[in-house]
Amino acid sequence: MVQNESIVIVGGGLAGATAAKTLRGEGFDGRIHLIGAETHHPYIRPPLSKDFLAGSAGLDAVFVEHSGWYADHDIDLQLGTTVTAVEPGGQRVQLDTGASVAYDALLLATGSTARRLTIPGAELQGVRTLRTLDDSEALHEALEAGGRRLVLIGSGWIGMEVAATARTLGNDVTILERDPVPLANALGDELGGMFAELHVEHGVELRTSVVVAEITGENGRATGVRLDSGEIFAADLVLVGVGAIPNLDLARMAGAAIDSGVLTDAALRTDVPNVYAAGDIAEAYHPLADLRLRSEHWANALRGGAAAARSMLGQDVSYDDIPYFYTDQYDLGMEYSGFGPMSRGAEIVYRGDRSAREFISFWVADGRVVAGMNVNVWDVNDAVQGIIRRGNRVDPAHLADERVPLETL
């Protein structure tokens, strides 16, 4: 174990909190400074568009640990505090309070910010994004009674989950998407089309291949969304779900190499001495895929935060977890594992009943499974990840045959 006396973690989300927990769990007894810009203690994001938004889960399903846990484990948790500067030469960070904190190792886990639109009307009241706990609480308050008209701009995972939650609460929902098929960038046209059909079956008005030109309003409040064709969709609320932007300013200030995220090795080390990155911002080398990956999903924050902690302690770390995420929409639940960049253009092999939406899909490239998704089929994700990790050439007929155990492939 390296003889760090002070570790600073910038970012009060899941990656930062998990790193702090892992440091203590691994026996580190030095100072841990966990600095977060939000006033809430660390929480996880998946419930914000699902059960917490629906009101079926409370704050205990959101927070990583109870508020007293940090003090109990001698972690200096500074909330509502922004790091304004990183000084790698002096190994110090500057805070907006005017104070500074020295570090022997620094973890940047600064997360992402919801992308906003620049079209007319984007700043009207009633135009929302969903990224934070406060966002979810406000959106729940607006939707919980039902009977509202919600227009979603964008059909990514968060938007589709919010659409399902809003419909379940009895609201009218319209989704406006510029691409021909929702989620096609992640899943391809065929499986993206399955999610489109699911939402239409549940009463969502889905409009694809459209361009949003303006959010209309009266008296400073949004009343609708206008397309470039001139068509207007009336709205009580507008949710913008067009992705997120990684918060890279501090990494740039530190002099770290950056592409779409902060470039790290497999141990989550940047090219700046004693500076590490984890979570949304880390574009880490993945030894199994032999490429750099950046993921905004919660599993990456959870596992990457723990890996970064062990790396800061001088342990031999190779962060090779297979990317994973899940979604729940209406009566459809799914888990996805694998390497998105490697699945583009791959052959898709199905096992199970697609018409009943109970199946596993495998993305096969050069004879090897590079990704898999189980839809309403449970307790198979570990086996799917095993196939991906082994990297064996597989017979597509064996993948499709439910009589062939997944563990043998």
Q: How many domains does the chain have?
A: 3
Same domain, 107 and 251: yes
Name the residue with higher pLDDT: 4 or 310.
310
Same domain, 76 and 88: yes
CATH number at residue 366: 3.30.390.30
Q: Which residues does residue 351 pair with via DSSP β-bridges, in sequence order? A: 360
SS (HEC) of 86-107? EECCCCEEEECCCCEEECCEEE
- 165: domain range? 127-242
Q: What is the pTM of this model?
A: 0.96
SS (HEC) of 113-150? EECCCCCCCCCCECEECCCCHHHHHHHHHHHCCCCCEE
For residue 387, give the nearest of 377, 191, 396 by alpha carbon: 396
Model pLDDT for residues 200-235, shown as the tens digit of each residue? 999 999 999 999 999 999 999 999 999 999 999 999
Mean model confidence pLDDT for the chain: 97
**Domain annotation covers residue 325:** no
Last residue within a domain, chosen from 312, 339, 356: 312
**Domain annotation covers residue 323:** no
Model pLDDT for residues 77-114, shown as the tens digit of each residue? 999 999 999 999 999 999 999 999 999 999 999 999 99
The whole-number pLDDT of residue 2 equals: 52
For residue 32, give the nearest of 118, 95, 81, 101 by alpha carbon: 101
**Domain annotation covers residue 404:** yes
**Domain annotation covers residue 122:** no
- Rounded to the nearest 10 degrees, the angle between the axes of helix 189-201 and helix 157-168 is 20
CATH number at residue 40: 3.50.50.60
Confidence of residue 1 (pLDDT cuts 50, 70, 90): very low
For residue 274, give the nearest of 99, 36, 22, 90 by alpha carbon: 90
